[in-house]
Structure 1
Amino acid sequence: MKKNITALALAAVVFAACNNGAQKSGDQQQDSAVTAGDAMKHETPADENVTEIKPQFTEVDAKVAASLKPVIDHYIHVKNGLAAGNAAETAAGAKAMGEALGKVDQSAMTPEQQKLYAENEEDLKEHAGHISKNEGNIAHQREHFVQMSEDVYELVKGFGSGQALYHDHCPMYDNNKGAMWLSETREIKNPYFGDKMLTCGVVKEVIK
């Protein structure tokens, strides 16, 4: 009983913070507020519900892993730029990510690995291009970051990343449709709202 009360208390703190932030940011479409009850329909209430998952491919060639690492690193660069509200830094990270994608070594991938990579490669290049070319429009960068995050998530679930990455979820982005992102730290730093609601979100999974 005590454990359940603690979980509910943690949820109340998280969603109250999200709602307070939303009330301060009515100038953007995605900043519409939701009630705590609405938010809890989308989110698990406590850290204890974080699921640990292992990458799909148990054997990844060292050359493949080494060439994918810069892609993941620059994705994190983009994420941190958005969380900081720095569109120029975000654009720089996306440009570097696009260059890294052009250097991924597919020669040692298995057919199954090649298939997974091919399913996400072109989308990633497209979104990296949009983000890199919109240094003056952080809202547009965030729109493309939504799908970029989904694509990188699929790659990390498949190939791993050589480090623990946390799958986080923001329930309020895009008029409460929600969006996910990956983070190198357990601490929530929301790339969709930046300092307006920096700690709004919940850790759903850890991939390691």
Structure 2
Amino acid sequence: MKHIIVSIIILTAVISCKQSPNKNSEVKIQNSTSISETKTLPSNDSAVSAEPVIAPDKKTETVKTETQPQNFSIEPIVKDYLALKNALVADNDKGAANAGKKLLSTLKNVDVKSIPSSKQKEYQEIADNIKENAEHIGDNAGKIDHQREHLASLSKDVSDLIALFGSSQKLYQDHCPMYNDGKGAVWISETKDIKNPYYGNQMLNCGSVKKEF
């Protein structure tokens, strides 16, 4: 009986020893499987995180950006105005008429598309007034008083034009308090010295500087 019990114990021990390696191998297989699964996760995560990096829309936004024209200058207009003004300072009605025609031609040759779009409408309004006054001055040689009347209006327009666009040249806005029955009038000058175009040699130094551009 004792021998039978001992044999059963030994047999049980042998069977358990044989089964235990299989359990360990199963654990190892499960662990290796879980490890391999965890190793594949970073590649999936990186693939997901890499998707938002592509942003094709930004390139189209850059291409559509508009640039305003920068090649417009009022310097030719100012130059012709100063020639007209100086002719009247010298009591030269014919010189003023020629300068008026030159100014009108310069204005007609302006390419409005070269002006920044935000300023085109205001420029057009000022330019239309300048054209009208320049035409009157150009058509009235021999009538210097009439030319000077239009110079008063023309000078206001040129002053507005300079205020709108600026000038690379140093300019002055002068004022004559006596012209137009004491109502006064302004003109634009390239020098600080007062040389009155409304009275010429009659009262050459009548007036004062009111503004600098």
TM-score band, normalised by shorter chain: 0.5 to 0.7
Higher relative contact order (CA 8 A, sep 6+): 1
The one-letter amino acid paired with 1:202 is: S
Q: Are the counterparts in 1 of residues 69 and 116 from structure 2 also a CA contact under 8 Å?
A: no
**Which secondary structure state, in structure 2, belongs to the residue aligned with residue 112 of structure 1?**
helix
Name segments (4+ residues, structure 1) moved above 6 Å: none
Q: State the distance in 2 between where 1:183 and 1:115 align.
A: 26
1:13-58 Cα distance to aligned partner (Å, 9 max, x none): xxxxxxxxxxxxxxxxxxxxxxxxxxxxxxxxxxxxxxxxxxxxxx
The 1:153/1:204 distance shift into structure 2, 3 A limit, reads same
Give the equivalent residue in structure 2 for 1:152.
158
Give the equivalent residue in structure 2 for 1:188.
194
Is it true that 1:69 corresponds to 2:82 in the alignment? Answer: no
Give the equivalent residue in structure 1 for 2:117.
111
Out of 158, 178, 181, the residue aligned to residue 184 of structure 2 is: 178
The 5 A counterparts of 1:1-208 are 61-65=69-73, 68-207=74-213
- How many matched pairs? 146
The one-letter amino acid paired with 1:163 is: Q
Give the equivalent residue in structure 2 for 1:20.
none
Name the % identity: 44
Structure in which a larger fraction of residues adopt helix: 2
1:112-162 Cα distance to aligned partner (Å, 9 max, x none): 210220121111111000000101100000000111001110000111122
TM-score with structure 1 setting the length:
0.68
Q: Are the counterparts in 1 of residues 70 and 116 from structure 2 also a CA contact under 8 Å?
A: no
Unaligned runs of 5+ residues in structure 1 are: 1-59
Report deviation, 1:69: 1.6
Q: Which has the larger radius of gyration?
A: 2
**Which secondary structure state, in structure 2, belongs to the residue aligned with residue 180 of structure 1?**
strand
**Which secondary structure state, in structure 2, belongs to the residue aligned with residue 116 of structure 1?**
helix
Q: State the distance in 2 between where 1:150 and 1:206 align.
A: 14
**Which secondary structure state, in structure 1, belongs to the residue aligned with residue 114 of structure 2?**
coil
Q: State the distance in 1 between where 2:139 and 2:178 align.
A: 26
